[in-house]
Amino acid sequence: MGITSSTKKINIDRIDCEGTLKVTLGLSAAPDITENPTDIVLILDRSGSMAGSPLANMKAGAKTFIDIIEKSTDGVEDGVIGSGSRIGIVSFASTATQNTQLITSVADLKTAIDGLNAGGLTNHEDAFVKALELFDPNSQNARVLVMFTDGKTTTGGNPNTITTQAKNAGVIIYCIGLIGDDGIDVNTLNGWASDPASSYVLVTPDDADLEELFAELAANISNPGATNIVIDEVINSDFSILSVNPPDKGSAMIMNPTTIQWKISELGVTENEGATLEFFIRHIAQTSGEKFVNESITYTDNEGNNVVFPDPSVFVNCDIVVKPEECPIPVDFTIEGCEDSVVVDLGDTYLQSLGRIVQLDVTIKNVCPNKRVALAAILTEVDLNGMEHQRGMKTVTIPAHEAPTCRDVLVKCIKFVLPDDLDPDLDSRDTLCNPRKFKARFIANNIDTDYACCESNIVITR
């Protein structure tokens, strides 16, 4: 059956500007149909909109599908589906009919298909119900449904619950869609089909393509696992690969900061198998927004399986951060062994006293592009009698930003030094480092403005 699913997931949908996330690639494959007997039910739309060439081409496609499966099961065209696999036919219009049970006779299957006539409405729910009834719950065979339809549901209920329960029970569902007179809802087919939909849903606007689509699907179902798999993942250049965990199958290598390669010698050749790879990436750009993780991801194997991975995205939040004061630069020094004392000249430092350092952050709301902002921070201390005492003012010029719209600007680390000898109530306290109360105020205004005063030249003449 070749590759049966391919997934790509991330562990979080929002990160900060320098945030990290885990990416998980998943792949599963099943062995050749000769070693993995499979029960397949073809569910064929014979509603009124199928009259004419759509019905004829659908019949040709379904019979080609049967021929490919028949040959792949035992390597010969003897009119009998071999190796324990079987095919059944269910057709539907206003209601569904089990045209055959699960059988191995190619002639009987084709006779049932040739006997289909177009007419009536479109009842997908009854079609899925009748198809699932053909499966033997005691059989160990793999179970596959192939739904062909040319339109939307026009009678009967919504089959979503039925298809979800079937997939949860291990049934693989493929969908072939023909865009007929009343159109077709591709999202509906995606919901019915197994994941990822890109590997299990085929759609065409031209009924002349149906035989080719049925043939492609039959080849996919009968393929033998996958060998010499190579997956090359290139992530978005706004991210960088941090590390990769050893995969449970094969080997993975970081080729460069944005490229990882995963190789698997074989998967699903003798039994149904899955493989996963986990790696971690960090956002390194300075722009916000919804960002796709992939730049590209390519898959190759010896069997020519067509594999498409999902393309997840994450929302990145990069606030504009201004740090008007940097932390002091440390001076490094070393004390050698067996030295009783050491003298180190650490250079100059600013005069400080015992006390506290208050560090204030503030967000300036709705700063428009290309506008510098003047910000003032005013700090006062409140004594036991409620009187305020000045403790300092700092003014900062906030650089203009170039974002396309007005943005909030986060200003961080505005520092005030508050020695304990400034404590207005120090004389009434027993010790230093007692609680002290403060009030902080901020004032901000745009520096750059389009406003200009009206000017007039007045000339006085005699």
- The domain that holds 358 is classified in CATH as 2.60.40
Residues 234, 297: one domain? yes
Is 339 part of any domain?
no
Residues 202, 285: one domain? no
| Residue given tokens 């014979």 in the structure block | 46
Q: Span 27-40, mean pLDDT?
A: 83
| Residue given tokens 């492609």 in the structure block | 216
| Residue given tokens 């460069």 in the structure block | 256
CB atoms closer than 10 angstroms to residue 10: 16
Q: Span 276-295, mean pLDDT?
A: 94
Q: For residue 361, is pLDDT > 60? A: yes
At 30 the pLDDT is 75
Report the C-alpha dihedral over residues 109, 224, 137, 177, rounded to 10 degrees: -60
Domain end residue (candidates: 292, 317, 342):
317
Q: For residue 392, is pLDDT > 70? A: yes
pLDDT (tens digit per residue) in 130-169: 999 999 999 999 999 999 999 899 999 999 999 999 999 9
Residues 44, 22: one domain? no
Residue 214: domain span: 38-222
The percentage of residues in the chain with a pLDDT greater than 90, rounded to a whole number, is: 65
Q: Report the range of poorest mean pLDDT among 24-33, 101-110, 290-299.
A: 24-33
Total structural domains within the chain: 3
Q: What is the pTM of this model?
A: 0.50
At 36 the pLDDT is 80
Q: For residue 338, is pLDDT > 80? A: no
Q: Average pLDDT, whole number, for the chain? A: 89
Q: Span 340-351, mean pLDDT?
A: 71
The whole-angstrom separation of Cα 388 and Cα 379 is 10
Of residues 172 and 431, the one with the higher pLDDT is 172
Residues 210, 301: one domain? no
Residues 268, 238: one domain? yes
Residues 19, 71: one domain? no
Write the secondary structure of the chain as one string of H (helix), E (strand) and C (coil). CEEEEEEEEECCCEEECCCEEEEEEEEEEECCCCCCCEEEEEEEECCHHHCCHHHHHHHHHHHHHHHHHHHHHHCCCCCECCCCCEEEEEEECCCEEECCCCECEHHHHHHHHHCCCCCCCCCHHHHHHHHHHCCCCCCCCEEEEEEEECCCCCCCCCCHHHHHHHHHCCCEEEEEEECCCCCCCHHHHHHHCCCCHHHHEEEECCHHHHHHHHHHHHHHHHCCCEEEEEEEEEECCCEEEEEECCCCCCEEEEEECCEEEEEEEEECCCCCEEEEEEEEEEECCCCCEEEECEEEEEEECCCCCCCCCCCCEEEEECCEEECCCCCCCCCCCCCCCCCCCCCCCCCCCCCCCCEEEEEEEEEEEEECCCCCEEEEEEEEEECCCCCEEEEEEEEEEECCCCCCCCEEEEEEEEEEEEEHHHCCCHHHCCCCCCCCEEEEEEEEEECCCCCCCCCCCCCCCC
Is 342 part of any domain?
no
Which positions ≥6 away from 247 have C-beta within 8 Å? 262, 264, 275, 276, 277, 278
Task: Give φ, ψ of 116 to 5 degrees.
Answer: -80, 140
Residues 270, 406: one domain? no
* CA-closest candidate to residue 83, choices 135, 139, 35, 13: 35
Of residues 320 and 233, the one with the higher pLDDT is 233
Residues 357, 269: one domain? no
Domain end residue (candidates: 176, 199, 222):
222
Q: For residue 42, is pLDDT > 60? A: yes
Is 42 part of any domain?
yes
Residues 363, 268: one domain? no
Residues 16, 104: one domain? no
Sign, Cα dihedral of 179, 182, 187, 192: negative
Domain end residue (candidates: 205, 222, 239):
222
pLDDT (tens digit per residue) in 176-202: 999 976 778 899 999 999 987 888 999
Is 185 part of any domain?
yes
At 404 the pLDDT is 87
Q: For residue 129, is pLDDT > 80? A: yes
Confidence of residue 33 (pLDDT cuts 50, 70, 90): confident
pLDDT (tens digit per residue) in 63-120: 999 999 998 887 778 999 998 999 999 999 999 999 999 999 999 999 999 999 999 9
Which positions ≥6 away from 129 have C-beta within 8 Å? 96, 159, 162
Is 115 part of any domain?
yes
pLDDT (tens digit per residue) in 323-336: 665 667 777 877 77
Q: Report the range of poorest mean pLDDT among 56-70, 326-340, 429-443.
A: 326-340
Is 279 part of any domain?
yes
At 457 the pLDDT is 60
* CA-closest candidate to residue 241, choices 230, 255, 257: 257
The whole-angstrom separation of Cα 445 and Cα 395 is 11
Is 269 part of any domain?
yes
Is 340 part of any domain?
no
- Token pair, residue 283, equals 């956002």
Q: Span 454-461, mean pLDDT?
A: 61
The whole-angstrom separation of Cα 80 and Cα 99 is 18
- Token pair, residue 25, equals 């690639």
Q: Are 115 and 11 in contact (CB under 8 A)?
A: no
Residues 143, 180: one domain? yes
The whole-angstrom separation of Cα 405 and Cα 51 is 56
86: domain CATH number is 3.40.50.410
The whole-angstrom separation of Cα 18 and Cα 416 is 28
At 153 the pLDDT is 94
237: domain CATH number is 2.60.40.680
Residues 64, 125: one domain? yes
Confidence of residue 246 (pLDDT cuts 50, 70, 90): very high
